[in-house]
Structure formats: structure tokens, C-alpha cells
Structure 1
Amino acid sequence: MSPRSILTVTEMAQADRAAVAAGTPVARLMQRAGQAVARAIEARFDPQPVRVLCGPGDNGGDGYVVAAELAARGWPVAVEALASPATDAARRARSAWKGQVADWGADGPEGLVVDAVFGAGLNRPLEPGVVRRLEALEAGSRQVVAVDVPSGLSGDTGRPLGAWALSAVLTVTFQARKPAHVLYPGRELCGEIVVAEIGLGDVASRLFENDPDLWIDRFPWPRASGHKHSRGRLGVISGGHWRTGAARLAARAGLRAGAGVVTLVSPRDALAVNAAHLEAIMLAPADTADEVEAACAEMDAIVVGPAAGLDEPAREKVQALGRTGAALVIDADAITVFRHAPADLFALLDIDDVLTPHEGEFERIFPGLLATSGTRIAAAREAARRAGAVVLLKGADTVVAHPDGRAAVSLNAPPWLATAGSGDVLAGLIGGLHAQGANGFDAACAGAWIHAEAAERFGPGLIAEDLPGLVPAVLSDLWARH
């Protein structure tokens, strides 16, 4: 399977033009789009009165097709138009609709509302009269189906263009998701999202859904002839006596991810407490930066940051690890400790190393970037370029970005992951995959997907300690798929 692209509004327009240039008329594409929406509605709702709201553009043209298709299936359909069609294809779709077209704001029965007013290409806030009408219908119906994106939502940012955007229970889009479908709050405003294939042209994209199709062909499965050292050696740096749990979570996750040998590198005052909790994970003493560097000299990958400390010795340890040549996964404290000199952190990174900040940590080393970039995708891409390393920006819509401009957005993260220690497990999963030879981008993408899938399988009540034990079942399913 090919990875699934996420297309910007401009790229989607290019795909439209490519299909037309290849011989598919716009009217045929519109017919296919409207039919796809009608099929999605019929599959999810019982027959009921439907009010189709049509705007003046091609999104409105799709709406006229939806109305005709549902009416042909016996659904009672009313059409309400904001304005007369403004494109040739929309005019043809309007003429093919044999029912009446009511003026904007006309009374009608309550029921399902199909929002075909404005699509993803809208670039201005909704007018007050449009907002008032949509708000009233949304409040009365509670069942809105959006064509492409809910009206008022920017297709490229996932944010309302003004103070308000419509909220849908179902959104049907075409060919590929857009940023509005994967970034919050748009992702929530869209409800269930259906991507319908309507025969558009191919467009090269550098943005993808983080799904196994993106990385499964390069997943670091063990070989029958392998042994523990050939499966990768992962080091995890522990914090001091009272700060050991986070590193153990990461170490256990790295072992579950498949790393052959995992070693917890621990300050001497924490050796006893770590030893009391470890079995298959090795333990190595190291207090100073030089000792940490020596302990990690043979590692393939190293996770540093979970509860590592925010003092100068912690900073020196991170810098020492940069000299080992191992692939680095830098998380939590190991990010924050460079808040006053982020360039020092970037200087020790290679293109295959991985930074895993949440938004607060991201702001500390990339101050102002989230606020000025427009989207989390753009911010993560620019951060990866500045750092010269892979950046995984954590959140409900986790973004993984490579310095070369590639990016992926995770779609499977459940709310149960918002619990202390889950980020430490994620860092360990990435480190474990990295130690086995996965490149930084693939390790980050696969680690994020596995992490979320494990949490989804557990459900409510999840705590971070549960996650490593859920990983084998996820890996088993991936193996069967592979």
C-alpha cells in the first residue's frame, strides 16, 4: 500500500486540474463527489427529511448532486441556496435538480442538514447572516453532514476563519484528507471523516497520514539468524535517586519494541532502587558526563531526558552523549535544560536524531514558532530544519517532521494517553526501534502509531505502566499485516 497523502488546498486544486487535463470533465467529478456524499449518508442514517444548503461555488454544486441522489433514493429533500451558482459546473448541477430551491433562511422541517455552502478553499470569515442561519440549523438539527469541510473552517489550518465554524457529525472529503481534517480544532469539528475516491489526478505531497503504510516496509523485524546484539543495543539515562521511574518506563518500552539489549545507565545513588525494579534490563553505574559517555560507547541508540534533571551536570551528560555516535532520542528534561541556549543542543544533533517535545518544551527551544507558523505542521517542519534533526511535536494531533520537509500527522491517538509517564514510554519505543536500525523519521512515526494503538486497545483507566505490556499484541498484528 502507498502512504496516504494529506493535501493542502492548493495541492487539491492541482489534483482537480490534473484530472480535467487527463480528460475527466468537472461535471463528472462533481457528480462523483455528490454520489459519494449520498452513499455515506445512506450508510449511516435512516431515511429522514434532509435540508441541503448550497453555496455559489463548486461545493454548492456538489450539494445539488447530493440532493438529486438522495431524492432518487426516496428521501424527502429540500434545497436552500445562499446565492445563485457562480461556476459552470455548479449551474449544470443546479439545472439537473428538479425540485424547488428555497431562499436562504426559509423555513423547513427539522432533520439532517447537508452543508455544501463553502468548501476548504474559503479564505474569509463567514458573513454574519450566514453564521446566524448555520448556528440555528446546527442547534435545531444536531446532525450536520459537511461536504469537504464544515463551512467557516480553513482547509489549510483546521481553524475557523472567524469566530465560528460549523460543527458536523460527518464530513465527506475527496481524494485525500486536508490539514483541516487532521489538525485540531478542525479534526473535532469534522466529526467522522470519510475520504471518497473520485478519480482525481496524482499530486506529489510531502505530508502524510501516520499510518503503517508509511513505514511498514522498512520496519525493523528481527531475523531468524539474529541474536540479542544484532537486534540493537539501547541505552536509557536514569535520573537520580528520587527520579528513576520515568527512565524505567522508557527502558521497558524499548525492550518491548524489540531492542535486543537495553541498559539503564544510572547514578550510583539510584542503583539500588533501579535494581529492585529491573529484570531483563541491564544496569550500569555512571555519575559524571565522562562516565555516561563511556557507558554508552557501544550503544546503537540512547534515550535521554525522562526525569534526567535540569542542572548543569544533566546538560553536560547530553552533550557527552552527542559524542558517542549513537542515535539520540532527546525528551523532556534533556530538551528543557537547553532552554537558554538551544543552539548548543542543535549543534550536537545529527539528521537522524529525534527530539520529542510537547508544546511547552517546544516553546522553550523554539520560542514563538508555534504562534507564528500558522499550523503545528509548519512549526514542526521549521523546527526540524533549524535543529537539523527529526522533531516529534506531541499532542492529540502529533506531528513528526524531518529536516528535508517530510511530515506525518498521527490520527489514532486516544484521550487515554493524557497521563503521566506516557511520553516516557513513547521515547522508549522510538529508541527501541531506532536501536534496531530504523531511521529517525520512521522510528518516530512507528513509535507514535504503536503508542497510540496500544492505548486505544486498553481504553479508559490507562496508566503509563500499562503501555509496554500492550505493545506485543500491536506488533503481532503489524507482523501479520507485513
Structure 2
Amino acid sequence: MMELLTAAQMRAIEQAAIESGEVTGLELMERAGTGVVEAIFEEWPELELVGQEGGAAPDPADPPRGILGKMKALVLCGPGNNGGDGFVVARLLRARGCEVEVFFFGEAAHLPADARVNFDRWSEIGAVKPLQDDVFDGWPDETSGVHIVIDALFGTGLARPFLQCRHLSRRMNSCSELARTRDLFPRVVAVDIPSGLCADSGAWLGDDQPLDFAGLANLTVTFHSLKPGHFLADGPASCGKVVCTDIGLTAPSKLGSLSRNALIEMYNDNRPGRHIVSLVGGGGEPHLSAKQGPHKFSHGHALVLSGGHGRTGAARLAARGALRIGAGLVTLGSPRSAMFENAAQLTAIMLHQIDGAHGVSELLEDKRFNALCLGPGLGRGMDTQAVVIAALKARRATVLDADALTRFERDPQVLFDLLHEDCVLTPHGGEFAILFPDLAANLAARPQTGPAYSKVDATREAAARSGCVVLFKGADTVIADPTGRCSVNSAQYERAAPWLATAGAGDVLAGFITGLLARGLSPMAAAEVGAWLHVECARQYGPGLISEDLPEQLPAVLNRLEQGARRMGL
């Protein structure tokens, strides 16, 4: 399990550790600076200076040289503890023989106590230059001889736009672009989070921030725990590679942290014949354990409703996903006009003619149908609304996607009044804005202060308003239930799967969740596991993926999990 801590939660943990006597603020700052320096040389070993290990202290007048010659670093320090971390980084780099130039934004007299100590320590061995906008106008670049630019200006605690040095972000972005596109120095390293980015929301604060930039850092080094802003909104595009380093805080978080790819018990019913699967993501290789001997009727019966003639493919994708992920039986409910069209494409999935809301109500008198999927390709006519209402009145575990959501555009409250705790809504951004226009507007507004309103905030409010689980899709998928429990399923950084942006991928996800509901998972667990497996299937296939390929990757993904479990002795 990997926790994401907000800036306030992180400060509370640090303060609790300091007040308990576990560690001092100076020790934490020293550990943070050490972590940044170690991360730099681990990421770019070619910068490592020769002759250091076991040798005498470097001669500042003639420091040792690495593969690229004498390393040069530019360290930009701000007026808070993030700047204090920067002064530690500068001192430690100099101790390793690097040529270091330090710029400071602020006044030394106003620095927090620990940061002031490290300001003074650096001042004893090197100069501190004032940081001004025009200093960075056009510099550094590939001809400056600078290898590393350290952004230690404003970390996770920034609550206002960083406008005083508005050109600085553009200069840093120019550097990071050189590294990304041409593999040139200097490289940009952000301490905790790129300055100006809200650690809780991943949004840039203020109207003047460079939203069109591809990124502002090549490497971001954060401490103790990753933050929501590393994964939400503009965060992934701005942070480059993110490394989380241990600074020795051992106190567990009891502050309502978010979980990303949390430990999930997929089938937590231990009766004989049940299949037990657990997934762990982000904190190590996922694992699977199984008890053999299941029967198809013990794994549920899912019903997926199809649209009419010419719009049946989405429902078939969802049905295939439900079957592949483990539903014992899957039936596709089809109107008469589409029966032949669907029959020509189906084998293991059963087909049943359903015409209108009355047909849905009649079929659901069979209590063995325990999970429903409505929306993919269903259409936006009045009959769709009637079908959704009839299905919700049956009080089965239900996934609502696509047309089953947008049909209620005129009055979403009609839908909310019918929803129950066993429902899962799976909107993308446009569908979310239809159901929750005020929340979408808050999310789209340019934040002027932090912590900014985030996708986590919006999804939690949506779940509370609707009274059910909401899965807000995207590369930064956020899943929340009405109690406020929330997880972020990130398809970014090492889990990036851009080929998921293909027609029908969302229909398969709806099917995955439906199949897991049929298997007996809770709505929150089904949404979390379904989203996680959805990304893993895309990564298993790779570029060239189309939606039909997704369900067919599940056997390989699940086999990998099982092999991991065996290696772990589970």
C-alpha cells in the first residue's frame, strides 16, 4: 500500500515527531538534503565525482572531476524550510567537490530557525546571491556549463502564486526540455515538488503560470510520502521522475491519508470454493492466491444491457470484460432490433431479448442476476431513462456509465434520488460535468491560493451527493465512496499507458467492475480493483492496443500475479 499525504498531514507528522523527541527539525532537514543529493547521483551516475570514496577531503581550489568534468550546480533557495533543504543540498554537493552557486529569494532574518541555521552554515563556505527575475533571463542553458539546477524555492506549503520570479519557471522549463528532448544538461531537480505547484491538487497557483509547458523538473525528490499533487492534474507533467526518500519518520499516519493502488481483498469471503485474490500496487509486486473448486453459480450472474441496432458494440465490450474478470455467467440484454446483430458476435455470453423498462423489470424478477451494467451504447432517448429507473428500483449492484449518466443531464437529482449504496458511477470529465456542474466548475477554476480544490475533493463531494461510489476517470483516476474513503489509481510515471485513450476502453472498465460486483466485491473494492487491472491489461499489451484487446490480457496479468504470490510463499 502506498499512502499519499496532503501537505497539512505531512507537516503534522513532522511536528509530532519533533515534539516527541524522536528527531529534531535540523536532523530532518539534513536527511532531506542528503536524500536529494543521493537521488541526483543515482539518477545521473555520470555526474559522480571520482576520487571521493575513502580519500581525503576535496580541495575546493581543484575539485575532482567526473565523466563530464567538474560538476556545476545552481541551487535556488526560498524563504522557508524548503529553502533550508536547499542550503543543505548546496553544502553537501560542495563537500563532494562540486562547484556550487547559491541564489536566495527572501531575507535571511525572516527564515525559520532551522532554515536560518543552514543558511549560516552555507554562508561560512560560500556566497549567497539575491534571486532576481532578470538574473535568469536566458540563463542557464546548454552553454552555461551548469549540470544541475536545484529548485528549493517553495515546497509543499506554498499557498499563493509564485509571481515574483515569473520568468524563473520558464527558464527552468527550458532546461528540463533540453534534458528531455536532447539529453543535454542542465537537469532540473525539484525539492519536494516544483515551486508553484499545489501539493494537494497538482494545480498551478495563479493566472500567470505556464500551463502549456510540458514540465518543469526532470527529477522531483520528495520525503516520507508521495503527495496527491504528484499524481493529480498538472503534477505528472511537471514533476518528471518522482523519487520518495526516507527521512526516518517512523510514526504511522492516522490522519485519513489517501491510498493509491491500495491493498485490496478482491474476494474476502473465505467459504470453501471461493476464489481469494489480493492485489497490491505501488508498494511491490502484486500477488494472487487462490482456492480451487469454484462453481459458475457461486461467481455471480451479470446482466449488461445493449443498445439498439447499430450501437451494440459497447455493451459487448463490457460483457466480455465482465466474463473475463470472473463473473460466473454473463447475459447481454438486447432489444429485438439488435438480437441478430449481437447473436452473430457472441458465444460464451448469453443473449436475452429485453424491450424497454418493463422487460428489464420482468427479467430482474430472477434474483440470480446480482450485478448490472447500464449505459455503454444504450442511447440517450426517453427509453434509456425508463430502463435505468427500472433497473435501479431492483436494488442490485449496478454500474452506470456513459448514456445512463448523460441521459439525466436536465435534472441529475432524478438519478441521485434513485441511486443506492451498491451503485458505481464511472464518469469521464464531460459526464462528470453533466452530473455535477458546480463541482466541475470548481475544479476548472484557476486557483489563486492553496491548498487548491482538487479532483480528490470533487470526487469525494460527488460520492457524498450521489450516495454511492464514484470513479472519476482519467490518467489520474480518483475513486471515492460516500464515507470519504478515496483512492487514486494513477496511470502515469512508470505505469503510464497512453494507448488506453482508445474508443471502448471505458466500456471494458465498466464491464470489469460489473464482473467484480457479480463476484461479490463491495462497490469500492470492485472499482479499485477494476481500475487497477484495467491499466495493467493495457501495459501488458502495449502500444497498438484497441479496446477488444483489454479483456484478453487478463489471463496473463492474473498469471503474473499468481507467480508473484508463489514467489512470496502465499
**Secondary structure at 2:372's aligned position in 1?**
strand
Structure 2 counterpart SS, 1:368: helix
> Is the Cα contact below 8 Å between 2:396 and 2:422 reproduced in 1?
no
Is 1:385 matched up with 2:464?
A: yes
Deviates more, 1:170-179 or 1:434-443: 170-179
Secondary structure (helix, strand or coil) at the match of 2:190 reads strand
- Kindly provide the CA deviation profile for residues 39-74 of structure 1, in whole angstroms up to 9, marking residues without a partner as x: 111101121321111112110111122122223333
Pick from 96, 105, 117 the counterpart of residue 153 of structure 2. 117
Q: Look up the match of 2:171.
A: 136
Q: Distance in 2 between matches of 1:223 and 1:268?
A: 41
Equivalent positions of 1:14-53 (< 5 A) are: 14-23=12-21, 24-45=23-44, 46-47=46-47, 48-53=71-76
Q: What residue number does 2:162 align with?
A: 126
What SS does structure 1 have at the residue aligned with 2:196?
coil
Deviation at 1:388, TM superposition (A): 0.3
1:198 corresponds to 2:247: yes
Q: Residue 211 of structure 1 aligns with which residue? A: 261
Measured against aligned partners, the alpha-carbon deviations of 1:56-97 in whole angstroms (never above 9, x if no partner) come to 211011112212222333333222222344011112222333
Q: Deviations over 1:319-366 (max 9, x none)?
A: 111132320000000011111222221222221310001111111111
Task: Quote the residue 1:372 is aligned against.
Answer: 442
Whichever of the two has the greater Rg, that structure is 2
1:96 paired to 2:121: yes
CA contact (8 A) 2:4 2:260 kept: no
Could you tell me which runs of 5 or more consecutive residues in structure 1 were left unpaired when the two chains were aligned.
none
Following superposition, the deviation at residue 481 of structure 1 comes to 4.1
Q: 1:273 to 1:133 in 2, by over 3 A?
A: closer
TM-fit CA distance, 1:215: 4.8
- SS of 1:230's partner is helix
| Conservation of the 8 A alpha-carbon contact between 1:54 and 1:79 | yes
Matched, 1:421 2:470: no
In the alignment, is the contact (CA less than 8 A) between 2:395 and 2:420 conserved in 1? Answer: no
Q: Distance in 2 between matches of 1:215 and 1:14?
A: 30
CA displacement, residues 225-275 of structure 1 (integer Å, 9 cap, x when unaligned): 320010121111111111110000001011111111111111122111111
Measure, in 1, the Cα distance between the counterparts of 2:475 and 2:305. 27
The whole-number CA distance in structure 1 between the counterparts of 2:503 and 2:90 is 49
Evaluate the alpha carbon distance shift between residue 148 and residue 223 of structure 1 in structure 2; reply closer, same or farther with a 3 A threshold: same
SS at match of 1:193: strand
Q: Distance in 1 between matches of 2:154 and 2:346?
A: 58
Q: Which amino acid aligns with 1:322?
A: L
What is the correspondence of 1:393-404 to structure 2 with a 5 Å cutoff? 393-404=472-483
Cα distance, 1:134 vs structure 2: 4.2
Aligned-pair RMSD on alpha carbons?
A: 2.0
State the one-letter code of the partner of 1:385: A
Letter in 1 for 2:370: D
- Compute the displacement of 1:216 (Å): 6.0
Deviates more, 1:419-428 or 1:184-193: 184-193
Q: Where in structure 2 are the equivalents of 1:137-216 lying within 5 Å?
A: 137-140=172-175, 142=178, 143-162=187-206, 163-164=208-209, 167-200=216-249, 201-215=251-265
What one-letter code is carried by the residue in structure 1 that aligns with 2:13? A
Unaligned segments of structure 2, at least 5 residues:
48-70, 179-186, 269-274, 278-289, 444-452, 566-570
| Equivalent position SS for 1:300 | strand
Q: Aligned partners of 1:287 and 1:295: how far apart in 2?
A: 11
SS at match of 2:548: helix
Aligned residues with identical type, % of pairs: 44
TM-score, scaled to structure 2: 0.80
Distance in 2 between the 1:308 and 1:137 partners? 49
CA distance in 2, matches of 1:202, 1:244: 50
Shift of 1:136: 2.8
Q: Which residue of 1 aligns with 2:7?
A: 9
Which residue pairs with 1:72 in the alignment? 95
Q: How many residues align?
A: 479
Counterpart AA for 1:92: V
> Match of 1:322?
392
Query: Is the 8 Å Cα contact of residues 220 and 433 (structure 1) preserved in structure 2?
Result: no
